[in-house]
Amino acid sequence: MNATAELFRRALGERRSTLIGLTVGAIGMCALALAMYPSLREQLGALTAVLPPEITAFFGADMVTPAGYVSSQVFTKIAPLLVMISAIGAGALPCALERDGVLAVTLAAPVRRAQIITAHALAIVTEVAVLAAAVGAVLIALREPTGLDIPLARLLAGTVALALLGAFHGLLTLTIGAASGSRGLAVGVGTGVALGGFLLSGLAPLVGSDLLGFLSPFHWAFGAQPLEAGWSWAVLSGLLALAAGSVLLAAAAALLFRRRDIG
């Protein structure tokens, strides 16, 4: 078996239990949120009518409409949280293997460092894709029974945005770990950027600053409202920014890991 493929298989194996747990959690939490929509719709309408516009603007969507409800409840709260946990944990895996001495043994074999980073980058992308696909599958399965009749193309756009957002933060964590070898630093930076991006994306419409939005990966993913706009140019440009950033981070991780001394 090719070394990259074997390392990829091992990386997924290390994360199997976590991925299963997060996937089950995502399915259950998203299904519950969708099932509550018919009974909450009138209350949300009344609540939105009395809330200051600044509060509703923070979530970037009208919570009463089907697309707005799914955006505010699933793609702003539940799904990003679980995907970030998955992506950052997967990105920090090489640091844990290095701490336990596994990485040094791997490097003693005829394996190139680029193969190690490639395998872990592919594992990150695969993990977040599985989790995002589970969220998308729940949305598709329950969209008609719950009255959330959102076109499939728009649900697909939102699911792709979620997966790319997770991949970006996972590969950022991988890059920090490749440069430092510190799991704590890698997780800290990945989590800090995710939290900072979420806050910037929410604050941008409140202060009327486009710059804050442009600095946020969350804004790249969901700022153009893929569940409402579908595959518009604004949505596509944000997805392309996430994809390009992910590729650059993976390349940086390979370069930094090759230059670092590993005991």
Q: What is the mean pLDDT of the chain?
A: 88
Query: Residue 159, exposed/middle/buried by CB under 10 A (0-12, 13-18, 19+)?
Result: buried
The more confidently predicted of residues 124 and 65 is 124
DSSP codes, 2-52 = -HHHHHHHHHHHHTHHHHHHHHHHHHHHHHHHHHTHHHHHHHHHHHHHHS-
Q: Is the pLDDT of residue 119 over 90?
A: yes
pLDDT at 100: 84
pLDDT at 55: 58
Question: What tens digit of pLDDT does each residue of 23-63 get?
Answer: 999 999 999 999 888 877 766 655 565 555 655 555 555 67
pLDDT at 259: 85
- How many Å separate Cα 103 from the centre of its chain? 26
**Given pLDDT bands bounded at 50, 70 and 90, which one contains residue 131?**
very high
Q: Which of 78, 105, 110 is nearest to 4 (CA)?
A: 110
pLDDT at 145: 87
Please, are residues 171 and 88 in contact by the beta-carbon 8 Å criterion?
no
What mean pLDDT do residues 233-252 have? Answer: 96
pLDDT at 93: 95
Q: Which of 24-38, 49-63, 96-110, 197-211 has the highest mean pLDDT?
A: 24-38
Q: Is the pLDDT of residue 108 over 70?
A: yes
Please, are residues 200 and 212 in contact by the beta-carbon 8 Å criterion?
yes
Question: What tens digit of pLDDT does each residue of 56-85 get?
Answer: 555 555 677 888 889 888 998 889 999 999
